[in-house]
Amino acid sequence: MTARVRNRIIIAAGIAVLIAVTGFVCKPGDAGGGYGPYFTGMNASLKAAGIAQPRAALDMDRLDANIALVTRAIVPPLRYRIVMKSLPAPDLLLYIMKKAGTKRLMPFHLSHMSEMLRHAGPGTDMLPGRPFPVAAVEAFYDALPAHLRTEALHAVQWLIDSKERLAEYRDFAARRNLTLRVNLEIDVGLHRGGARAPEELAPLLDLITANPGRLVFSGFMGYDGHVTHVPFFIGSRESAIRKEFAKVMVRYAAFVDYGRNKFPSLFTGDLSFNGGGSTTYSLYDASMPVNDVAAGSCLVMPSTFDTFTLAGHIPALFLAAPVLKKMDGFGVPFIEAFHSVVAWWDPNTALTFYVSGGGWSDIILAPAGVSINALTGSPPNENMLPSQGMLNGSKKVALSVGDFVFFHPLQGDALMQFDEVLALRAGKIEARWRPFASRL
């Protein structure tokens, strides 16, 4: 054997050993287990109540703790406005309004607005989170009972993003002999619409001044949803966020100062200078131009709200899906010849579970070691009417047919995908609420 051949054999053997060692080190361990005390109790409560369909489960004790954090941060002269889109159930909103001591709401859907006008009563203040086509607003008024049409005139600040839309609202008000409150959208860095510079306010404020019987100026809305996504290359994420937020406040103040200096007659009384969001609400204080702070998702803490600004908030909303089937093996078609190899390599594929529904989230909280099958699972929210979702786990997973798998939703909006929201207090079902009937 020549030295060259011998060296090649040694190198090949070394590579083989390296591959074997790497494979051994990277081989997944068995992650299977049970629920833990918290989800053991929730699983037992749902089963004892005869729940056998997918449900949204809301921990009221955790919700109360999150509400307390918000109300301790948003204190007078700041006022708290509840974002309805993130908490889309009338009874849930009414509970939060009472607990937080606010009647200020931020709706995103006209059907939700009309329903809350019916439930929340006089004194409710609604600032939509987006502008609506004037034809939709006209249909909204036509559908309201007569007594609620009057209430809506006092309750709603219609969001306006352009002079053209403002003129359409003026014409609608003239046709119906109405006086509409209007809130102007300003761009404080998100670039999603509205006045981009203070000087762009002039034609809108001129139009409001010229139509006192039809339009009433009620304030500004400058959403700062981009702040916690600011890119940074040096320093810390927290430092970058705080710097960007400071810039937003400078921009916002420029709009307010311009309006007060150029149109002092409009800038009187109780105006709403709205800003905020769940990821930034805790950054506001009384020294800033904003006096109306919106937040919603932080009360239930879905999985996509992991930021230092929400330190102390705890997840309160979970999605519970009952197990329909439990089977041995990996269970994926067309690769049956490799099932034994897959099971040897990854013990967490030894069992297959099918849950009722699925596709709401890709984060499973309990029981330990259960995961969505990557080869068959749909991306979250891709399938709006899910049938049954395929999960896998090891032999150690303590899960039987009829038990529940608990998911962490990506957004609070997930409530809209369920027929019923179960409100649990101390682990027991306290109430059953329904989400809004329509998404429009």
pLDDT tens per residue, the chain (440 residues)?
565 534 444 444 443 334 344 445 568 888 889 999 999 999 999 999 999 999 999 999 999 999 999 999 999 999 999 999 999 999 999 999 999 999 999 999 999 999 999 999 889 999 999 999 999 999 999 999 998 999 999 999 999 999 999 999 999 999 999 999 999 999 999 999 999 999 999 999 999 999 999 999 999 999 999 999 999 888 899 999 999 999 999 999 999 999 999 999 999 999 999 999 999 999 999 999 999 999 999 999 999 888 899 999 999 999 999 999 999 887 778 877 777 777 778 888 889 999 998 888 889 999 999 988 877 776 776 666 778 888 999 999 999 999 999 999 998 888 888 999 999 999 999 999 999 988 77
Tell me the backbone φ, ψ of residue 193, rounded to 5 degrees: 130, 175
Number of H helices, E strands in the chain: 11, 17
Asked if residue 29 lies in contact with residue 393, where contact means CB atoms within 8 angstroms, the answer is: no
Asked if residue 415 lies in contact with residue 435, where contact means CB atoms within 8 angstroms, the answer is: yes
C-alpha 307/C-alpha 332 separation (Å) is: 37
Residue 63: strand, helix, or coil? helix
Predicted local confidence at residue 162, as pLDDT: 97
Name the helix (H) or strand (E) containing 46: helix 37-48
Predicted local confidence at residue 209, as pLDDT: 98
Cis status, amide bond into 264, omega within 30 of 0: no
Tokens of 103: 């009647």
Predicted local confidence at residue 3, as pLDDT: 55
C-alpha 243/C-alpha 255 separation (Å) is: 19
Asked if residue 319 lies in contact with residue 416, where contact means CB atoms within 8 angstroms, the answer is: no
Give the count of alpha carbons within 13 A of 85, CB side only.
15
C-alpha 153/C-alpha 137 separation (Å) is: 12
Q: Which of 182, 186, 176 is nearest to 215 (CA)?
A: 182
- Burial category of 302 from C-beta neighbours within 10 Å (exposed 0-12, middle 13-18, buried 19 and up): buried
Strands 215-221, 364-366: pairing is unpaired
Predicted local confidence at residue 11, as pLDDT: 45
